[in-house]
Amino acid sequence: MTVTKFTVGRRTDPRVWDVRSILSGVVTWTTDLNYSAGTLEFEMIEVNEGFTPHMGDIVEFYWDNTKVFYGYVFDFKYTNEKFTVTAYDKLRYFKNQDSLVWPVSTLSQRFTKVAKMAGVSYRVVNNSEHKLVAEVADGKSYFDMLQSSIETTQKATGSQFFLATNYDTVELRKAPYKETTLVVGDKSLMTKFEYEQSIDDAANVVRVIRENEDKGQRSTATAGTKDPSNTSFTAVTASGNINKWGRLQTIETAEEKANEAQMRQQAKDLLKSKNKPTNKLTLTVIGDPALVAGNSAWLKVQSLADIGYGTQAMLITKATHRFSADYMADIEMKV
């Protein structure tokens, strides 16, 4: 297996450079479900042929005749006669910020609107029919807008949608996108693994706070500092699991115009998401382009089976591929 296409070209110029012969070292490709663009990082030797990468240049990369990456140069460093280049796929334009008023609409409709506004080619692979309430998105990125819509849709329907780029097309998909038959484990593809569990970001006490407007609006003359005598709060608390971990408390501001019953539900919802350990499983495997974020693969590791993770299909949440003569990848799986 080898690089079968690697070109860099201008958007406003028909010239295209085949850079395969001047590549230096490993080509790294990263995909991530955590609302970020796909990334391609590579090094090129400087040659005296009038070629220098420019911001916005189009980058196309094939591995073993498989289309892997289509994106644009956003950064390069030049030192010791080498260019170190970072390119992002079209999801990078979902970092654009805007202020929008969303009517009652579905996730699919909102994805379609922001994709058009971002000026990228797009496709709804999996449609969502769940109606989201009208809301105001003020000064937010398209990623932030869709993250809120995706999380609300998942709570209501149980379906996990995500954003991904299929070469040169941004897609709305449902996880897992492809349920591969690949097995990663002791006797197949895997060379090592690392499993981590943590409660460092957990909370077992959640307080939802609302400032009482009748008193809290008044401030002292010191740079808008609130006057303690005229400030009060209403708070509701949800808790659980304190006897196991000790008290791990977080607070959140009440949603706008929420009454106490709604604040109580908000606290319960946040407690449900925060009152549990986080788990991280990372495996180093022999590379395969199908092992990308959003697809699933079969996990079969005896040491993990011993602690409760027997043979099962698992969702890949992040994948970093290192293309070279020794093609390897690091994949994170949802456990």
- pLDDT tens for each residue of 48-93: 766 889 999 999 999 999 999 999 999 999 998 999 999 999 999 9
Tell me if the domain spanning 96-174 has CATH number 3.55.50.30: yes
Region(s) of the chain under CATH 2.30.300.10: 3-91
This prediction's pTM: 0.88
pLDDT over threshold 90, residue 37:
yes
pLDDT band with cut points at 50, 70 and 90 for residue 129? very high
Coil vs helix vs strand at 158: coil
What is 179-199+277-333's CATH number?
2.40.30.150
pLDDT tens-digit series, residues 299-322: 999 999 999 899 999 999 999 999
Comma-separated ranges of CATH 3.55.50.30 domains in the chain: 96-174
CATH 2.40.30.150 occupies which residues in the chain?
A: 179-199+277-333
User: How many CB atoms sit inside 10 A of residue 247's CB?
Assistant: 11
- Sorted by sequence, the CB contacts under 8 Å of residue 322 that are 6+ apart come out as 26, 27, 28, 287, 328, 329
pLDDT class of 255 with cuts at 50, 70, 90: confident
pLDDT at residue 214 in the model = 61
Token duo for residue 31: 């995909």
Q: CB of 98 within 8 A of CB of 87? A: no
State which of 166-175, 208-217, 229-238 shows the largest mean pLDDT. 166-175
Q: Give the per-residue pLDDT at 225.
A: 63
pLDDT tens digits, 184-221: 999 899 999 999 999 999 999 999 998 887 644 433 34
CATH of 3-91 among 2.30.300.10, 3.20.20.120, 3.10.20.90, 1.10.10.10: 2.30.300.10
**CA dihedral angle for residue 96, residue 111, residue 124, residue 290, rounded to 10 degrees:** 50
